[in-house]
Each structure stands twice: as structure tokens, then as C-alpha cells.
Structure 1
Amino acid sequence: MRNVVLSEEQAFQLGVEAYIYGYPLVLMEVSKALLTSVATPEGMKAPINQFAHLRAFPDASFTAVVSPNSDTLYSSAWLDLSNEPMILSVPDTAGRYYLMPMLDAWTNVFASPGKRTTGTGKGDFAIVAPGWTGELPEGVQKIPSPTSLVWIIGRTQTNAKADYEAVNAIQNQYQLTPLSQWGKPYQPPTSVPVAKGIDLQTPPVEQVKNLDAATFFKQMSSLMKNNPPAPEDLEMVEKLAKIGIVPGEDFELQSLTPSVIKGLSRSVQAAHEQVVAAGSSPKAEVKNNWLMTYNLGSYGTNYLHRAGVAWVGLGANLPEDAIYPLTRVDEAGNPLTGENRYVIHFECDQIPPVNAFWSITMYNNQQFFVDNPLDRYAIGDRDHLTYNQDGSLDIYIQHSSPGKDQQSNWLPSPQDDFNLILRLYWPKAPVLNKLWSPPPVRRIS
């Protein structure tokens, strides 16, 4: 396979496909390096195989992450399973909704322990690398991971600030224990050596964009040793071999023929442009001017979609866990702006059908929260909403207060343009089957 004589154009085309295929893998590695570059947990960073917990909701001054939420508090951990399995222990959350989605190195969600799948009782889950054949302790459930690198992005339902104490106590009981330490009194190491030479300033997407062909493909090849391609990727693996990329083997661009070197060197920029284009115009269905995306978290061989989603924001949930309709326009298709007043009217049989909960979050066009006198950045079914006599519901969206009688249902907007994200946690069948869609945002004259 590897002695095929390729023209520059053939190498270019294969290079584009290879880059798109490997983009999430390289981006996950760069993100992991950045988010584990601490000796002890701080903020959303923690050493490998340890949890970092967000203990409170961000406010309008927070600009570290776009489209933050004020429904759940995050517990994030990067795992390296190459030495041994890690055991995730969760407490009894007394019915409180939580989920622990696990992403493999290719960004597929391969498991999602939590209320939807495993209930809210106490549980221990051993996350196991490919090829591991050992024995597990009694009472520990096995979760096979397709790759040695795993990112857990835990979320725990949090009902406003009064809930912090209860949720923080649950977060403290989310534990990660190496299998070899199971059954012993284990404390995570407190002063882990931090890797040298990590770029802590440049966002991971920019770091990956700046990699040349030699560096990108070399990193991709070496990462595929512990993070093997999926069985359904066989056709792609055969293509990669034609340009000298073999999982787990050293890739040296300069060892290839001059025409292949030229083609691959050109391919990286062209491929990156395709990734950005795919991420900028996601494959969403438009319903009442809301963009509905149903195909996240599990991508099969749709490599361009997978890469585009990774570029927009790593860590997308499975639709069974959450769906996030988004709109920037009103019913007539005009941009949403604080200069106007709007209402979203849910008929009594059209209230968002969810097993967990729902919320609508207000964002300015930089995708951050909007400062307002109520410190209210989202509104939903856990707020003290006022329903109409027929059971229907009106949510008022405007810059100034709609008055005392309607304040309970008011989501404050900025003075200028904004957009809305409706979060549906553990959506019911009508949402997943595309039978339900949110009502339009209607301008009040």
C-alpha cells in the first residue's frame, strides 16, 4: 500500500481527507494538554485522571467559554487509560438529574452514565482501554472505551444559587480511582509535575490551525497508537497508508516523494477551510426559525460533520441527553434586537416535552450572558413561572421590565442584537422523533 506512486494532486486530495479525519483527534490532544497543565485542580483545569469542578454559575463578566449555561454545574476530567482502568464513583443524588458523558479521543460519546441510563443511585464504573483483559472487582460495572484518552464532561442539575451547597457536596463525591488503588484509602496526587512547553495562551483551535502538515500528520499518527481508528474506519485507514500515515508508526513527511510532500503540504490549509465551513453552517433543520440539530455526539463515518462540530465546540452531547435549539431571528425572519419586545407562546400541549428540565438562555452576539437588574440569564420550568388559565405559557423577551404582573416570565434582553438557546435536557420521544418544535419568537407591536 505504501509504495503507491501518487501525483501531487492525488496526495493533496488524500491529505485533505486525512486532515478532516484526524482533526478531532489532534484537537482533543491539544485541549487535554491545556486543560491538564496544573499541579492541582483549579477552575476547569485538573491534572490527568482528576476532576475539576465548576462550583458556581458564571455571570455576565464571564468570557472564558462561549454559550455558558446556568442549568448545570460542570465536573470535567481527562483520563489516560493506557496504564490501567480508572473507576468513576458517583453518589446517590436522591433523584437529582446528572449525566457523565464520556468522549473518546475522536469525540464520540461512547457512554453516558447518569439519571437517564443508570439512575441516580450510588454506582462504580470502570472505564477500560481497548485490549485490556484484566479482572474487575465485584460490583464495579465495566465501560469499555474505544480509546485510551477519555474526556468526561459531567453536568449536575443546579436550581439557582441556593442549590450550590447541595450540588457542591455531590461534586465532592464524584471520585476517580485507579484500579490498582481500589479498596485502599486513595487520595489523588496533590503536586503533579506539569508538562513543559505547553502553550497556555493560544486557544486549542488556533493552535491546531497553526500546525503545518509535517507536525499535524506526525502527531495524528502517534496518537492513533493508543487511540485506534474505529472498525468502520477501515477504508480511511487504507487511504492513510497511501500517504505514509500508519496508526502508531512514526510519520516523517520528508521521507516521502517530492510530489507527495508538495501535495500534503498544500492540503492542510484547504482541509482546515472545509472544517471551518462545516462548523459555520451546521446541518440543522429549521423549524419556526429555530435551528434544530439532532445528529451530535455520535458521528459514524461522517468525518466532516464530526470535525466541524469539534471546531465549533468540543463536547457535544448525544441528542438523547440534550438538544439545544437556537434562534437569532423572530417569526418574520428579522434579527432579534433589544429595540423590540417579543413573546414566545407555548400552548398547553406544546410545553417543551422533557424528562429532566428545560430552559431558554439569553446571549449577546459574542455568545456571553447579558447583564440585567434581575441577574437572570435564563428562564425555564424550574423558575416560578406564571401560567395562563388554559395552561399555556408566555415568555416575555425585552430590554425593559414588562411590569410587575409579567416579571416572573421575563427574560431580559440587551439593548442591541441577541440570540436564544433553548436547552432540552433528556428530551422525550416527540422531540427526538422531530414531531415537536419550539413556537416562534413573535414580535409584540
Structure 2
Amino acid sequence: MLDASTQKMTRAYAAEVGRAAYVWGWPLVNMHNRRVFMEQLPEPGLLAGIVPAGPPGTIGMLRDYIRPEERIVACPNQDVVYGFGTLDARRGPSVVQVPDFGDRFWVYQVVNQRTDSFVQLGSMYGTKPGHYLLAPDGWDGEVPDSITGVFRYDTRVAVVIPRVFMDDTDADRQAVQPLVDQISVYPLDDYDGTTKVVDWGSVPSFGKEGSTGDQEETQWVDPNKFFEVFGEVLDEVPARPGEEGLYDWYRSVLTAADTHPVIAETLQQAALDANAVVSELFEFRNYGIPVAHHWTTQRSGAAFGTDYLSRTAVGKSNIFVNTANETTYYYQDLDSDGERLHGDNRYSVTFEARQIPPVRGFWSLTVYNKHHFFHPNELDRFSLGTKNKDLTYGSDGSLTLTVGGTAPTDPELLANWLPAPAEEFTVYLRAYWPDPTILDGSWAPPPVRRG
């Protein structure tokens, strides 16, 4: 029988397939590399003293908002107390603890290696306190009777990100800590039916704290090494129905590269070329669903399916978004005239009295620098919204937030002002547990006006 794997392949053909594979597989390789990195950690704790993390099968938790020095995940928010950790199917199931949050908003995001959600844990689901199991599809062990529910995933890698809302007050910082200390993820082998309490304020720190400088997100995908792990990643993420031919197509060039150095070289160059395509997707104005006044949004976050464009674009620009019913996101790079936002100017965003973002959770408007991270400033302020109790409203109930330029001298105006870097920046509106009028497009953000 003839061996089809030995068929001839031109460099031009291999390059075309290689570029497509890079754009398609970028988020999957990103997740693979995060898991490999987390394997170096000996126990749950903080990276550089600021980012929660732990070895696969566990998480770390914060007790306060994420700091602006963070560079592990782009577009963080300062409305919630975060946790973060990875899962590895080869290590078996993990237990995730859900305390009684009362009427406080919370949601646990858990996504597979495709960055698609496979759980429903949060305020919007009426989730009961208890212990839940996160188990690989192939695991056939016994589920303890005291486990409240089971969620399964079919990829090797998954990520767990608890989010717990917290007001920007000292009183609420104190109130949230006992709840946060009851949030934990650990291997099923360590489960004994009790609620484990972790003092997340005294966990170890790993690595040195970096400067806040002009830094991009940690580069989780190196185009020079992409095809060194892509075959392994295809094994880690099984083809969905209808994707089998796509997988065969990608594997054909990997097979050719194994025996033909010139094809291997071609694939490496294809990754470098395609990296420019992925880099363009970092800019919010280059993808998504257009909304009024130059805003864009998306509705497939954490439920991408075959929307490979959005999966890669979101992975590059702001990975680990929630599903639309959990959080709706609006992105803005431009002012109402279509000009790029720039910190030398001042802008205003006015929500009319009955047009303040309609949510059952919370909303916020955040400023990000050109790398989609916080801009360090003297006020230590990066967003405004539900968490802020000192916002000044108009006599008619409207709310005007200002962004950029010099700080207002009037205390009431200052309370509604967000500092911005003296260069290009982005504003980003979150609506957690959005009202149906947000989901159906009846509500949209107001324009960002210069001056």
C-alpha cells in the first residue's frame, strides 16, 4: 500500500496551510504554554507578589483588586477580587469550593483549551454553595456523594478564574476577605467533604516583581516555536464534529516537515508572517460587531464554536472573557468623530438618567494603555462604575464621566474623572449580568466626545 504521508508538497502550499494553522491555533497554543508555565510552581501563591496562580489542579486568590503591574492577562478589571489557576486533564479531577456569597455578585469562569466555557457557576445561575467537581471527559472514577455538581471538559488544559465583586471601600475590603478565603481549587484526592479555608493574605510569592514600564502582555505564543508544539496541541484538543478534515489538513504539513527540512523552515516563516495578522487583531477597532458611536462588541466570548476569528482576536486582545449572559463587553478606540483616543485630550461619556448601563451585577468604564493594561497614576484609579460610591450625578439623574487631559480641580468633577496616558489609549465598558436590553442590542453605550 502506498504511503500518502510521503507525497510531495510545495513550499507555497505548506506556507498557505501554515499561516492558516497559526491564526486558527494561536489561542490553543497560548493555553498550552500557560499550563506549561504553571507546572513550575510548587504550590498556590502569587506571581511576583501580585498575580494569583498555582500548579495545575489548583488556583491562587487575591484579597484586593489586581495591581497595575500585572502583565499575565490583558484587560484586567478593578471591580472584582480575582483568582486564577489551570487544570490539566492528565492530573485528574479537581474540586472547586463555592461559599455562600449572600447577595454579593460573583461568577466563576472556567474555560477549556478552546477558551470556551463549560460551567455555570455564579449569581446569574442561582448556584448553591458547595463543592463542585471539574473532571476530564475520560475520567470514570467515583464521584463522592457530597459533591454538589459535576462539570466536564474534553481538552487537556482548562483555566479557572473566580471573580467576586467588591466595592472600592475599606469596609468592603474587610467584608470580602472571609469569603475569598473559602474559595479554593484542589485535586479530588485532597477532598474530605469539609470546606477548606486558606489565608490568601499569607501565601508565598514566586519570582521578582517587574516594573510597570511600557510593557506588553507576557508573550505566551512565540511564532518561532509555534510549530514545535502545534502537533502536541492538536492531540490535546480533540476535533469537534466537522473539524476532522481541518485537523488532517494541518497534520499533513506537520508530517511533511518531519521529513523535509525545507518544509519545516517554511512553516516557521509562515508563523512569523501570520503573526502580523494576529497582531492586527489586538486592536479592538479591527474586529467585533459594530455598535453605535464607533463602539464594538462581541457575542461569542467563551462560546466561540467555529467563530475562529473572534476566538483568536479575543485571545490576543483580552483573553478569558465571560459568556455574553455573564458579561457583555464594549470596546472603544475612537472618539465620536472617529479619531483615535489620545491622553492629551479630554473626553466625556454621558449616560442619560435612564441609560446608565442596565445590569443586575455591576458595570464599569476602564481606561487601558496601548498594551491593554492599566496606566499607573497618582490617584491609583483605573476605572469608575458601580463600585464607586462618590460619583457625582446630575440633577436629572444623568452621569457624566470624563477621561484624559489634566485632572479637574473641582472635587466633584475629579470624582468622575479617569486619568489616561499621554498617548493612545482605549476605553472598555463592562456589564456584568446584563439586562436583556443589552443582550438584544436595544441598549448601547453613549458616544465618547472630545472636549
Q: TM-score range by the shorter chain?
A: 0.7 to 0.9
Distance 1:224 1:369, change over 3 A: closer
User: For the residues of structure 2 that align with 1:342 and 1:305, how far apart are their CA atoms?
Assistant: 29
What is the aligned partner in structure 1 of residue 352 from structure 2? 347
TM-superposed CA distance for 1:99, in Å, is: 1.2
TM-superposed CA distance for 1:230, in Å, is: 2.4
CA contact (8 A) 1:75 1:171 kept: no
User: Which residue identity does 2:400 align to in structure 1?
Assistant: D
What is the aligned partner in structure 2 of residue 182 from structure 1? 191
1:108 counterpart (116, 126, 143):
116
What is the aligned partner in structure 1 of residue 240 from structure 2? 230
CA contact (8 A) 2:58 2:94 kept: no
User: For the residues of structure 2 that align with 1:27 and 1:364, how far apart are their CA atoms?
Assistant: 22
2:398 counterpart (392, 396, 401):
392
User: Which residue identity does 1:235 align to in structure 2?
Assistant: G
What is the aligned partner in structure 2 of residue 220 from structure 1? 230
User: Which residue identity does 2:397 align to in structure 1?
Assistant: G
What is the aligned partner in structure 2 of residue 421 from structure 1? 428
User: For the residues of structure 2 that align with 1:60 and 1:365, how far apart are their CA atoms?
Assistant: 14
Aligned CA RMSD, in angstroms, stands at 3.3
TM-superposed CA distance for 1:387, in Å, is: 2.9
What is the aligned partner in structure 1 of residue 36 from structure 2? 33
Q: Secondary structure at the match of 1:391?
A: coil
2:143 corresponds to 1:136? yes
Per-residue Cα deviation, 1:117-149 (whole angstroms, up to 9, x for no partner): 243x31322111122233322243111112131
CA contact (8 A) 2:290 2:297 kept: yes
CA contact (8 A) 1:82 1:226 kept: no
Distance 1:393 1:265, change over 3 A: closer
Distance 1:308 1:340, change over 3 A: closer
Distance 1:243 1:306, change over 3 A: same
1:253 counterpart (248, 254, 257):
257
CA contact (8 A) 2:68 2:373 kept: yes
Judge which range, 165-174 or 178-187, deviates more.
178-187
2:179 corresponds to 1:170? yes
Q: Secondary structure at the match of 1:431?
A: helix
TM-superposed CA distance for 1:239, in Å, is: 1.5
2:164 corresponds to 1:156? yes
CA contact (8 A) 2:223 2:268 kept: no
Percent of matched pairs sharing the same residue: 27
Per-residue Cα deviation, 1:24-46 (whole angstroms, up to 9, x for no partner): 22221212222442223332232
User: For the residues of structure 1 that align with 2:37 and 2:411, how far apart are their CA atoms?
Assistant: 47
2:334 counterpart (321, 325, 329):
329
Distance 1:401 1:5, change over 3 A: same
User: For the residues of structure 2 that align with 1:85 and 1:65, how far apart are their CA atoms?
Assistant: 25
1:55 counterpart (60, 63, 82):
63
Distance 1:177 1:118, change over 3 A: farther
TM-superposed CA distance for 1:352, in Å, is: 0.7
CA contact (8 A) 1:232 1:301 kept: no
What is the aligned partner in structure 1 of residue 253 from structure 2? 243
2:132 corresponds to 1:125? yes
TM-superposed CA distance for 1:187, in Å, is: 7.7
Judge which range, 156-165 or 69-78, deviates more.
156-165
CA contact (8 A) 1:342 1:443 kept: yes
2:376 corresponds to 1:376? no
User: For the residues of structure 2 that align with 1:186 and 1:355, how far apart are their CA atoms?
Assistant: 28
Per-residue Cα deviation, 1:236-285 (whole angstroms, up to 9, x for no partner): 1232343356xxxxxx8333x56644643443223333322334422341
Q: Secondary structure at the match of 1:55?
A: coil
Per-residue Cα deviation, 1:134-173 (whole angstroms, up to 9, x for no partner): 3322243111112131111221111114222332322221
What is the aligned partner in structure 2 of residue 205 from structure 1? 219
What is the aligned partner in structure 2 of residue 99 from structure 1? 107
User: For the residues of structure 2 that align with 1:202 and 1:359, how far apart are their CA atoms?
Assistant: 23
User: For the residues of structure 1 that align with 2:366 and 2:408, how far apart are their CA atoms?
Assistant: 17
CA contact (8 A) 1:36 1:45 kept: no
Distance 1:328 1:185, change over 3 A: closer
TM-superposed CA distance for 1:405, in Å, is: 4.4
Structure 2: give runs of 5+ residues left out of the alignment.
Answer: 47-51, 207-214
User: Which residue identity does 2:247 align to in structure 1?
Assistant: V
**Matched pairs, number:** 425
User: For the residues of structure 2 that align with 1:343 and 1:188, how far apart are their CA atoms?
Assistant: 44
Q: Secondary structure at the match of 1:294?
A: coil
Distance 1:51 1:333, change over 3 A: same
User: For the residues of structure 1 that align with 2:345 and 2:254, how far apart are their CA atoms?
Assistant: 58
Structure 1: give runs of 5+ residues left out of the alignment.
Answer: 195-200, 246-251
CA contact (8 A) 2:99 2:129 kept: yes
User: For the residues of structure 2 that align with 1:63 and 1:2, how far apart are their CA atoms?
Assistant: 42
User: Which residue identity does 2:10 align to in structure 1?
Assistant: S
User: For the residues of structure 1 that align with 2:131 and 2:99, how far apart are their CA atoms?
Assistant: 9
User: Which residue identity does 1:270 align to in structure 2?
Assistant: D
CA contact (8 A) 1:338 1:399 kept: no
TM-superposed CA distance for 1:417, in Å, is: 5.0
Per-residue Cα deviation, 1:331-383 (whole angstroms, up to 9, x for no partner): 22334445544332212221111120111123344544345554432211332
2:81 corresponds to 1:73? yes
TM-score where L is the length of structure 1: 0.83
Per-residue Cα deviation, 1:269-312 (whole angstroms, up to 9, x for no partner): 23333322334422341421323233322222233432232233
